[in-house]
A and B are shown apart, each in its own frame.
Chain A
Amino acid sequence: MKILVCISNVPDTTTKIKFVNDYELDKTGIQWIINPWDELALTRALELKEASAGAIKKITVINVGAAETEPTIRKALAVGADDAIRVNIIAKDAYQTAKQIAEAVKDENYDLILTGVESSDSNGMAVGEMLAELLNINSAASISGINFDKSLFTIKREIDGGTELLTIKTPFLATVQKGIAINPRIPAMRGIMQARTKPLKVVEPKNIYNYVEYTDYELPKPKGKCKMIAADNVTELVNLLHNEAKVI
């Protein structure tokens, strides 16, 4: 059995977002990380492999990106992924990304593919399910738990006001969210050393058109000043919420 985890390379979540002109992210000083959900997906994949008594043989990570994403890919190898693929292109949209991944892995027959529910930069919310469609496999979205027992996968899916427990036939893709794993793995020294020699295959991209074009950025309008109310005058707050903001 083999698992594929799709990882995107994103600015650290505390990054103050700025643009060079209206069209380009200002990359100065940005720390790049594995997208938080992808990191949790990888963590869960590693846990499943370790508990599978050899049934799960390999975990591969894949990224679509330029050479500058390699430190992030090496981090995934350092926490325990067995090998990695990088498709050498900066994809312009979710469709291009998904299609490049599909082309790179279509003959590999992964039993399970994990992606995050969204990447924290583009918030595209699309690559995972597009990939499932391109590979024509089953899928489930917003998964907060995966278990594996004797070739049978059970998954926990978040629904409005609760969760569902499901079984799903392999091969399948799950887009994962919070709960799938609790704490992401931190690379240890030994892992970092090993990661240097683990296979990282670079594949050249296919010629694929994008469906949507991201153009200019805008920063949100600065908020008006916060109206401060004295702590001993909560009645004033209630009046404002009632008469001014009209929300209660």
Chain B
Amino acid sequence: MILTYIENWEGKFKKLSYELVSYSYELAKKLNTKVIALSIGNVNNDELTLLAKYGAHKIITVKNQQLNILDNKLFAEVITNVAQKNEATCIILANNTTGKAIAPRLSVKLQAGLVAGVESIPTNTQPFTIRKKVYTGKAYNNVIVKTPKKILTLFQNSFGLVENPQEANIENLDISTAESEIKLIEVNKVTGKILLQDAEIVVSAGRGLKAPENWGIVEDLAKILNAATACSRPVSDEGWRPHSEHVGQTGKIIAPNLYFALGISGAIQHLGGVSSSKCIVAVNTDKDAPIFEAADYGIIGDVRKVIPELIVAIKQTKK
């Protein structure tokens, strides 16, 4: 069995959830087995059923008061329990903050080799061989998992969505846990904004914008493209933009379909976070800026002139 852990956000799934199921289905086909999707927390049956559309053969849901906030230790116990009951040989999680928090604990509990941050299905199943990025995207490494059980975490937006409709049962499992020793004091969340990790298009700007008051055009461009905004590290270090927007080796690692690098030089540490984008557009005054080596389309020009014109041109095509 392939077991995939599906996180929810206030009871809802998102594209990433279905991507995990699509990936698991493809892997199950290769290993000649089936997919069980496991949800922990309060998700209603209508939402759970959506997982079947992407290939879940069975859906398990665990609801338990102690599991309302993420406690890595308790979550790992629950997932291990379900994995053992269902004789799971592969466990798939997202390579996001939650997946990265739980997968290593599962690896120890189940004595299962872990490969974190995969982008594709294994190239070989005997021995189980899979490719992973190393050196912050500067190279790939083939990894052989030697243990009978395997754990993988999948990079968001790397596999995509594939529909494989199934007739899946929903099974309610009662699993009790100890009381969590982690207590939530408060949550700070921005609402109504497109999350950087989830965005199909990202408009990102760097020190070339010169000052925080010049970000209006960046936000306008993001708005008409329904995009999220991002920035280079010095921009967030200076406090021009919030830390949550910082992308790169030491910030967020993203892989949108389209990435705009506006007034960003393209330092190696910056590229580490964005080089998996499907298409990169660079606008820079310096024709020798390294960003042009990573970009698909480039304009040598001043962002203050190019962005407003770009906004006008996009508005026109949208008409």
Contacts and interface: CB of A to CB of B under 8 A. Distances in A.
B111 A223 contact: no
10 contacts: A120-B136, A124-B116, A126-B104, A133-B109, A159-B97, A163-B188, A211-B145, A215-B142, A228-B299, A245-B279
| Most chain A CB within a 10 A radius of its CB, from B107, B186, B306 | B107
A248 interface: yes
B100 A141 contact: yes
A68 interface: no
B292 A120 contact: no
A212 B135 CA distance: 17
Contacts of A227: 296-298
Interface string B16-56: 00000000000000000000000000000000000000000
A241 B105 contact: no
Nearest to B116: A125
Interface stretch (B59-67, B68-76, B81-89, B160-168): B68-76
B170 interface: no
Contacts of A224: 296
B96 interface: yes
Given A213-B146, A247-B279, A178 B105 contact: no
Contacts of A237: 281, 297, 299, 310, 313
A74 B36 CA distance: 49
A212 B294 contact: no
Interface of A: 11, 13-17, 19, 36-37, 93-95, 98, 117, 120-130, 132-134, 138-142, 144, 154, 157-169, 175, 177-179, 182, 210-220, 223-224, 226-231, 234-235, 237-242, 245, 247-248
B114 A226 contact: no
B147 interface: yes
Contact of A228 (B185, B246, B298): B298
Interface of B: 9, 69-73, 76, 95-97, 100-105, 107-109, 111-117, 129, 131-147, 153, 181-191, 193, 195, 197-198, 201, 225, 237, 243-244, 246, 249-251, 257-258, 268-269, 275, 278-279, 281-282, 292-302, 305-306, 309-310, 313-314, 316-317
Contacts of B115: 212
Given A123-B117, A165-B186, A141 B133 contact: no
Nearest to A169: B181
A237 B301 CA distance: 13
B171 to A, nearest CB: 27
A231 B310 contact: no
B136 A13 contact: yes
A64 to B, nearest CB: 15
Contacts of A157: 70, 97
B251 to A, nearest CB: 6
B104 A128 contact: yes
Nearest to B312: A234
B76 A217 contact: no
Contacts of A161: 189-191, 193, 195, 244
Contacts of B70: 157
Contacts of A169: 181-182
Given A98-B108, A121-B135, A228-B292, 18 more contacts: A16-B138, A19-B139, A125-B95, A126-B104, A129-B105, A134-B108, A140-B101, A160-B9, A161-B191, A211-B145, A212-B145, A217-B134, A226-B296, A228-B297, A231-B299, A234-B309, A247-B257, A247-B278
Given A133-B76, A219-B139, A228-B299, A211 B187 contact: no
B181 A138 contact: yes
Contacts of A219: 138-140
B309 to A, nearest CB: 5
B249 A120 contact: yes
A140 B257 CA distance: 31
B258 A247 contact: yes
B154 to A, nearest CB: 12
A78 B281 CA distance: 43
A142 B243 CA distance: 14
B139 A154 contact: no
B245 to A, nearest CB: 12
A36 B134 CA distance: 15
Contacts of B316: 235
B243 A130 contact: no
| Most chain A CB within a 10 A radius of its CB, from B153, B191, B309 | B309
A212 B278 CA distance: 29
A117 B299 contact: no
Contacts of A95: 107-108, 113-114
Contact of A129 (B102, B257, B268, B306): B102
Contacts of A175: 100-101
A128 B105 CA distance: 9
B187 A132 contact: no
B282 A160 contact: no
B142 A241 contact: no
A141 B95 CA distance: 13
Contact of A211 (B112, B138, B310): B112
